[in-house]
Amino acid sequence: MTDSPAFVRNGRRDILAANRLGYALYSELYIDPVRPANIARFVFLSPRAHDFFPDWAGAANDLVANLRTEAGRNPHDRALSELVGELSTRSEEFRTRWAAHNVRYHHTGLKDIHHPVVGDLRLTFEAMDLPADPGLSLVVYGTEPGSASHDALKLLASWTAATDQEEAGREAAGTREADVPRSTSNTPDGAAP
C-alpha cells in the first residue's frame, strides 16, 4: 500500500507500524522521542496538536471516548492504565473528558488534519480489525479524487519519495544518517519531518 497513508494501532492508540505515507502524514507524532508514538499523548501533551487537528476539541473528545471503550474492553490492561494515569496527571483537558465517561467506537469517518508541509487535508478513514492479531487495527486514509486534499496528499507522497531518494543517495555514498543533518528546507520553522 503506497498510495494511501496507513498504519497499525492498538486500542491505546499506539502507532506500531506505518507505511511511508502514513509516517509522513503523522510525522508530527514522531518528534516526541517516546516510543511507540501515541496519538493520545500527542493530542493532550504536545502544543503542536492544536495546529495539527483543526477541530482539536472534537478529536480530543473522540479519542477519550475511544480510550474509555478500550478500558471497558480490557479493564486489566496495565499499559492503558499507565497511559490514562499519565494523561490525567499532566492534562486538565484529558482529566475533564475522562471524567465524563463517554464511550465511542467507530471504524469509519472523516478526519481533518493541518499538515506542516502540505497544509489542510480532509481525509476519509477506515479502521479494520486484524483477526490474526486481536486488539490491533489497520487504519487506511483516502481522499476524494480531484479534491484539494487529494492533490495535497499526492504532494506529500512526492515529498516523501524525494526524502527517500536523498537517504538512498547518502547510503550509496557511504554516509551514515547520523553524519548528515536532515534537510529541513521544505518544512516550516525548520522542523524535521
| Domain chopping of the chain, boundaries | 6-182
Start-to-end Cα distance in the chain: 21
Average pLDDT over residues 25-52: 96
pLDDT band at 177 (very low <50, low <70, confident <90, very high): very low
The pLDDT value given to residue 193: 42
Q: Is the dihedral of CA 25, 31, 36, 38 positive or negative?
A: negative
- Higher-scoring residue by pLDDT: 193, 172: 172
Coil, strand or helix: which one is 75? coil
pLDDT band at 163 (very low <50, low <70, confident <90, very high): low
Whether 186 shows a pLDDT value over 50: the answer reads: no
In which band, very low, low, confident or very high, does the pLDDT at 47 lie, cut at 50, 70 and 90? very high
Asked whether residue 183 carries a pLDDT value surpassing 80, the answer given is: no
Q: Are strands 119-129 and 108-115 parallel, antiparallel or unpaired?
A: antiparallel
Is residue 171 scored above 60 in pLDDT? yes
Give the chain's mean pLDDT: 88
Please give the class, per CATH, of domain 6-182.
Answer: alpha beta
The pLDDT of 106-133, averaged and rounded, is: 95
**% the chain with pLDDT above 70:** 83
pLDDT of residue 187: 42
Q: What is the mean pLDDT of residues 146-161?
A: 93
pLDDT of residue 5: 97
Q: What confidence category does residue 179 fall into, taking pLDDT thresholds of 50, 70 and 90?
A: very low
Helix, strand, coil shares of the chain as percentages rounded to 5?
Answer: 50, 20, 35
Q: Give the model's pLDDT for residue 166.
A: 59
- Residue 161 — pLDDT band, cuts 50, 70, 90? confident
**Structure confidence at residue 175 (pLDDT):** 53
